[in-house]
A and B are shown apart, each in its own frame.
Chain A
């Protein structure tokens, strides 16, 4: 199960694309797809390149603070992590666990 120290990116054959019919972002993979809401699409977009979960969460939190959304950081962290785990459960993420002494991001 992924946690803050995991590094991840979208798995091979997973594409983030705009559905012209609904105007919503979709995560597409063979035979299936996920229609994402705005925040989910933002998180998925951050997963297009490999990065740590902690960094992904930090970027989302920073955006929310900048937008004065007033949402507690703990709630954002928890819900982003739950969303990422839902993607992982469906095999949509390539996940690497980092060791305790490895640098967080280079």
Chain B
């Protein structure tokens, strides 16, 4: 595994029904 800055893309799900 090579280092990369941990990052994410935010997604508006409205998996909606996936407690």
Please list the residues of chain A having a beta carbon within 8 angstroms of any beta carbon in chain B.
12-13, 15, 17, 26-28, 31-40, 42-43, 63-64, 67, 69-71, 75-76, 79-80, 82-83, 86
Q: Besides the contacts A34-B10, A83-B7, what 5 more A-B pairs have beta carbons closer than 8 Å?
A: A17-B18, A31-B13, A33-B10, A36-B8, A82-B6
- Contact call B15/A28, Cβ cutoff below 8 A: yes
Chain B residue with minimal CB distance to A69?
Answer: B3
Please list the residues of chain B having a beta carbon within 8 angstroms of any beta carbon in chain A.
1-16, 18-19
* Interface residues of chain A: helix, strand, loop or mixed (majority): mixed
* Interface residues of chain B: helix, strand, loop or mixed (majority): loop
When A13-B19, A32-B13 are in contact, do A69 and B7 touch as well, CB less than 8 Å?
Answer: no
- Contact call A33/B11, Cβ cutoff below 8 A: yes
- Contact call B6/A79, Cβ cutoff below 8 A: yes
Q: Which residues of chain A have C-beta atoms less than 8 A from B18's C-beta?
A: 15, 17, 28
When A15-B18, A31-B14 are in contact, do A79 and B1 touch as well, CB less than 8 Å?
Answer: no
From the candidates B7, B11, B12, name the one contacting A37 in the complex (CB within 8 A). Answer: B7
- Contact call A12/B19, Cβ cutoff below 8 A: yes
